Each structure stands twice: as structure tokens, then as C-alpha cells.
Amino acid sequence: MVIIATDSAADFEMYELEKMNVTYLPMSVSFGEDNYLENISISKEQFFERLKTDPNFPKTSQPAPALFEDLFTKAKENGDEVVYLPLSTGLSGDYQTAMSVKNVVDYDGIYVIDTLTCTGGQRLLVEKAVEMRDEGCDGKTIAAKMESLKEKTVIYTAMDTLEYLYKNGRLSNTAFYIAQLGHIKPIMHCAYDSEGKAEIVSKHIGLNKAIKYIVDRFDSEVPDMDYPIYVMYTYDKTNAYKLADKLKEKGYDIKEEQIIPVGATVGAHIGPNACAVAYVKL
């Protein structure tokens, strides 16, 4: 049997994971002394409600090493294979921890993929891995496909505020002040060509212009329509609907089920009211 596993940064809902038979390793999130497991003891909506009101800036942590040890050891004992698709190494130490535990377990049937992506990008990889598993592919074949597919998976995010990048120390006080004063809305990009790091690639006055930038990217980075296009949002869908409408005007059919919420792992850094798109390019 091939086990497909991922962490909570892929932003699936629990019922989706159960339906696809995907093993879930939750990230943890804490506000001060209060600790939660993402999507288990705190929902996406509850996280953002607290993010907006709690004076404590949240801290997120990768899955506990014991979760990897349990998953990998049982797979070895049962002769199963594991394909694990964690959050990008550019954003978390999840991949490195999984690799360390794999080396301790010492089992060749474990495939840990540095996805170099997050949220909707991770979702795309997991869904393809599940499809291949259900078609009877072995772990090695699935892992090879993931390595090639991740090179073509892109995410562009229009952030409504830089407040949370400022709060977590990734933005200077001066840069934050100027951005607030000028109503600057940055575009964050995360993909293979940025080594899986979240980089600001463009800045715009007003969110409508930021959304236009994302939609215009579809002309130079044309989507592979064998895969879905996901529009993501943090807490409020309003801006995601604006983005989806602009994509529909361009001829892309974005269904309601393709508009998905982002959780704590990524949301802690980009804040509420952001919108994003994830897809596989040709």
C-alpha cells in the first residue's frame, strides 16, 4: 500500500483528507501560552478571529518528530510505502525533520518531497499523488512525478496588509509605515524558481491593481488545464471573488469549490483579506 501524507499547510479540510485517504500531520499554533493543533483544536476561522484581536503574535511550529516516527515506523513494519508532501523548505523545517526521521528509521520505502510550495500549491501535488496512488502507481513513480510537477506549480498572493510581516520581524518599521501611507499592496510569489521562498515580486497602489497583476501573469505563465486552478483567501472571501471574477473574464471557469480558505501556517504571515491563486503552468 502507498500512503500519501501531508501537513496542515496544504489547507485541506479534515473531511477532504478522510475522503481521499490522506494521512495528516498537523502544524501547531500558539497565542502566548495557548497551544493548538491546526484544523483540529482551532479552525481556520477561529484562528483569524483571534489573530485580529489577540495582542500575542501567533507562533507556528512544524509537526512533532514523534508523528513522523510513528508514521514511518508503521509503514516499514507493514511493508507500505510513504510519499510525504510537506510545506516548502523555504518556509519551514518540516522537510528536514521528516528526512532526519527517515534516516533514523532507515527504510527505502519513504519518499519525502520538498514541494517548494504551500497551501493551494501543496493541494495540487497531493491531489495528483492521490490520483496516481488510486491508479495503482507505486511510491517511487509517484515521487518522481511530484519532483517534476513541483517545478511547474506557482502561487501568487495579493496581500491586503503588511502588518503581519511587520509584526513577525520580516519588515522594517520604515518600510511598513511607507506601505501603509501609500496604500501599497504587495504581490508575494512562491515557486520552484524562488527556491520555495516567499518573495515580494511586485507592489501596487490598491488591491484592484494587485489583482490585475496576478491575472496578467496568466499570459506569460499559461496554466495547464489538466489541473485545477485554485483561488485562495484568508478569512474573508470578498477579494478572492474579485480575483475569481477577473479570471472568469479571461475565460477560466473558477467554480465555488476551487475557492479555498488558507489556514494558520501561512495566514499568520500574510494576514486577513489576502487573495491568491495556485496552478500548474505549462
Provide CB contacts within 8 A for 163, sequence distance 6+. Answer: 176, 271
How do strand 153-158 and strand 275-280 relate by DSSP bridges? antiparallel
- Sheet-wide strand order for 2-7: 23-25, 2-7, 81-85, 110-112
Determine the structural domain holding residue 77 and report its residue range.
2-151
Q: Per-block average pLDDT, block size 10, for the chain (282 residues)?
A: 96 95 94 91 92 88 92 96 94 91 94 95 97 97 97 92 59 48 72 74 85 94 96 94 96 95 89 94 95
pLDDT, position 178: 46
Please indicate, yes or no, whether residues 63 and 141 belong to a single structural domain of this protein. Answer: yes
CATH of the domain at 88: 3.40.50.10170
**Residues 253, 145 share a domain:** no
* 122 and 257, same domain (yes or no): no
181 shares a domain with 216? yes
Q: How many domains does the chain have?
A: 2
Does 100 share its domain with 133? Answer: yes
- The reply to whether 121 and 13 lie within a common domain is yes
Instruction: Write down the pLDDT at residue 220.
Output: 93
Domain closes at, from 122, 151, 180: 151
**End position of a domain, from candidates 131, 151, 171:** 151
pLDDT of res. 168: 57
CATH code for the domain in which residue 233 is found: 3.30.1180.10
